[in-house]
Amino acid sequence: MPRVRASIVLIATLAAACHRTSAPPAAIRFLHTFNPEETRLFDATMTERGIVVDASLVPFARGRQVIAEILRAGTDCPDLIRIDATWLPELVAGGLLVQVPLALIGHDWSPEAAALAQLHAEWWAAPQAVDGLLVIRDLGPPAVPAPASASLTDLLAAAHAARTAWRRYPLGVRVDGYWFVPWLRAEGGELAPGGFDDAAARAMTRLAALFGDVARPPPSSGLEEPDENQRWANHEIAYWITGPWQFHQLGDRARIAVSPLAGAPRGGQLLVVPRCAKHPDDGWRLADELTSLPVEARFAAQFATVPTRNAALAEAPALSRAAYDALRGATMLPREPVTPLLFDDLNAALRAVIVGDASPEEAVAGVRRSWRRLTRQAAP
């Protein structure tokens, strides 16, 4: 009888425990722009840490637009959003975000991460990753030497030296406004409606001169990334201007060496809580988890992303630390709401110059007109 009683008590206890655990905790609503691989790791991490998250993916290309629409509508509002650092000024200017709790601000953020998360000396985000442009070079075999300095001149000299019969175009660079920034800055310009003048035309001229010389002309399909990955795998690229987001696609990390690039833009990914969030505390709790030491270390280990906390940086793989060092000399883009909107016209103009449809001066003039209109539209 004692055994029977004990069994009944045990079964009742288990049933009660199961009943208790069967009630699901409220899910934290999270809108993110992780790529598919990052999404898998995120899902696995949340499952392991017992955090129930109702996550929804927003394609990066439309992320700024969709997120702004959702937050302005105020309905169906998430508790936390992962955004690109360039989107922050627009959301802050629109009064769509809440500031970061002091507990989060007190973490051991790296200076670069802390700068990303702040605007006008106020904290609006928890930095999740630091990125930007840098130069990766192929350690071969055969290994290519590092450029003499971070300057574009030395980079191009090294690229010329690395050119061989089977490596006709040793420099990897995209026809994209973001990649244009170092050349613009080298000419004394900046990515801002007011700073786009002759310096931009000169920069365009210099950049366009690379294609067909040390850089491969853009593919007709317009899809550069698959082409770049294939060429890297074949050791056809000696120096590749890209960002840490590319590392996880490159396979053998032992082949990769990282160098800084003069005038490179630095950015990153931020976690923000919208003002319309129903459970902002839950949002910050999730942000705290995602920027915790084990999670940052795990993302860094798997994707070689650059962690935002000093402790995580110390434990990050060598490639992540090298990327961080290379990005320390990079500079953030102007922190204006209009900045992310500038690339649309700039990209098209660059493409027109590089394929020879327009002269740099024509393209710059068109961009200036477009940006003026854009500034007008964006004005309240």
Partner 1 sequence: MTARPRATASLRWRVLLALSVAAMLPTVIVGTLTIVRAREDVAREVNHGALAHIRALGAMLDRTLQDAWRTVELAAASWADAPGDPRDTELLLRRVRSNMPIVRSLSILDPDGTLRSGDPVPARLDVGSHSFGGYVGDVEILDGRPVVYLVVQARSRTGELIGVFVAGLDLAFVRKQISEALIDPGARIVVVDGTGALVASSQDTGAAGPVAVQGHRSLAGVDPAVDRALGATIEGTLSANGWVSTYRNLSSYQSRRGVRWAILHQQPERDAYALARKTTRDTLIIGGAALAIALGLGGFFATRLTRPLAQLARHADAIAAGSIDDPPPVRGPGEIGVLGERIDEMARRIAERAALQAALARGDRLASVGVMSAQVAHEINNPLTTVLGYAKLMLEGKPPGHPDREALELIASEADRMKSIVGGLLEYARAHRKGARDVAQAAGAGHCDPAAVLRHTAALLEPQLRRTRTTLALDVTAAAPVAIEAHALQQILVNLGQNAAQAMAEANIEGTLTLAARPAPGGVATLITVTDEGPGVRPEDRNRVFDPFFTTKAAGLGTGLGLAVCKHLVATAGGSIEVGDGPGGRGAEFRVVIPNAAGPT
Report the Cα–Cα distance between both ends of the chain, in Å, rounded. 80
- Cβ nearer to partner 1, comparing 232 with 371: 371
Q: Which two tokens stand for residue 239?
A: 């120096």
Q: Give the helix ranges, DSSP H, for the chain.
A: 2-22, 36-48, 60-73, 88-93, 102-105, 111-117, 152-161, 177-186, 198-210, 224-233, 280-290, 293-303, 310-315, 318-327, 343-354, 360-378
Q: If binding is defined by CB under 8 A, does position 48 make contact with partner 1?
A: no
Residue 25 sits in the site that holds partner 1 (CB under 8 A) = no
In the complex, least distance from residue 292 CB atom to partner 1, rounded to whole angstroms: 21
Check binding of 57 to partner 1 (CB under 8 A).
yes
Which whole-number Å values give the CA distances from 124 to 58, 271, 288, in the listed order? 21, 9, 14
Q: Which is nearer to partner 1, 170 or 189 (CB)?
A: 189
Please tell me whether residue 345 binds partner 1 under the rule CB under 8 A.
yes
Can residue 350 be called a binding residue for partner 1 (CB under 8 A)? yes
**SS3 of the chain: helix, strand, coil, percent, to 5:** 50, 15, 35
Q: Is 277 in the site for partner 1 (CB under 8 A)?
A: no
Segment 315-344, which members bind partner 1 (CB under 8 A)? 340-344
Q: Which of 45, 58, 123, 309 binds partner 1 (CB under 8 A)?
A: 58
Which of 49, 62, 160, 278 forms a contact with partner 1 (CB under 8 A)? 62
**CA dist., res. 323 & res. 305, Å (int):** 8
The region of 14-22, 131-139, 253-261, 347-355 touching partner 1 under the rule CB under 8 A is 347-355
Closest CA to 86 of 227, 181, 219: 181
x/- track of binding to partner 1 for residues 351-370 (CB under 8 A): xxx---xx---xx-xxx-xx
d(Cα 87, Cα 269) in Å, to the nearest integer? 10
Q: Is 349 in the site for partner 1 (CB under 8 A)?
A: yes
For position 43 contacting partner 1 by CB under 8 A, the verdict is yes
Among 28, 45, 55, 96, binds partner 1 (CB under 8 A): 55
What residues contact residue 364 under an 8 Å CB cut-off, 6+ apart? 196, 197, 198, 200, 201, 204, 349
Q: Which residue has the tokens 């490639």?
A: 319
In contact, 232 and 249? CB cutoff 8 Å:
no
Q: How many residues touch partner 1 (CB under 8 A)?
A: 44
User: In the bound complex, what is the minimum distance in angstroms from residue 101's beta carbon to partner 1?
Assistant: 26
Residues that bind partner 1 (CB under 8 A): 35-37, 39-40, 43, 54-62, 65-66, 69, 76, 340-345, 347-353, 357-358, 362-363, 365-367, 369-370, 373-374, 377
